[in-house]
Amino acid sequence: MRAIIAIPMYWTWPRGTPPRPSDAIFDHPTPVDGVSTLPRLLDSLHIVHKPPHEYDTHPYAKLAEDVRRFLYEREKVRMARVQGRATRAEVERIVRSPYPGRFLAEDVEEHALAALRALADEEATRLWGTPETIVEEARERARTLAPHYTAFAGAWPTLISNLQYPISDT
């Protein structure tokens, strides 16, 4: 199995430029004239060998995780609008984009339920919950966590700058 790691890079305005409210939507923006954190990240990656059966995640479990992630992302975007950190136009641009826009639409829960129901069987619902439970728990998780995202995003640069690189196992 060949592993692929996708590392999104969010470049923002040059250092010293006042941030725009919509910048807070992204987890870790890097000033375009700033030092990239990518080399430190790449230096810290290690190959972990696991037996092949550990990579065989049930499709229902994968979809349940996607549902949790997209409902949380949708709530973060909604909170950015409500808190005045993003304009209606900025939110519309995100929601209308090919990705992740479609997965942030208001009807994503209906589509999630349909997709989960299509994959649900007795074992999957016993292990990971019914489609309705997964969606409701994801909705509640998003409502609980999204309001705290702005504080987390604000603290993130300080947390990262205080880390020592390279990270060693000893």
- Please name which of 168, 161, 160 lies closest in space to residue 43, comparing C-alpha atoms: 168
Higher pLDDT, 143 or 95: 143
Query: Is 166 part of any domain?
Result: no
Higher pLDDT, 160 or 123: 123
Structural domain for 16, as ranges = 11-161
Query: Is 82 part of any domain?
Result: yes
The number of distinct structural domains making up the chain is 1
- 56-77 average pLDDT score: 92
Asked whether residue 52 carries a pLDDT value surpassing 70, the answer given is no
Query: Is 130 part of any domain?
Result: yes
Dist. CA 33–CA 15, nearest whole Å: 6
- Please name which of 93, 73, 72, 90 lies closest in space to residue 81, comparing C-alpha atoms: 90
Dist. CA 116–CA 128, nearest whole Å: 11
Query: Is 75 part of any domain?
Result: yes
- 59-63 average pLDDT score: 93
Dist. CA 169–CA 45, nearest whole Å: 12
Report the b/e string of 62-94 with b at 16+ CB within 10 A.
ebbeebbebbbbbbbbbbbbeeebbeeebbeeb
The pLDDT value recorded for residue 91 is: 83
Query: Is 170 part of any domain?
Result: no
Dist. CA 163–CA 165, nearest whole Å: 6
Residue 88, C-beta contacts closer than 8 angstroms, at least 6 positions apart: 81
pTM: 0.64
Query: Is 2 part of any domain?
Result: no
Query: Is 91 part of any domain?
Result: yes
Query: Is 169 part of any domain?
Result: no
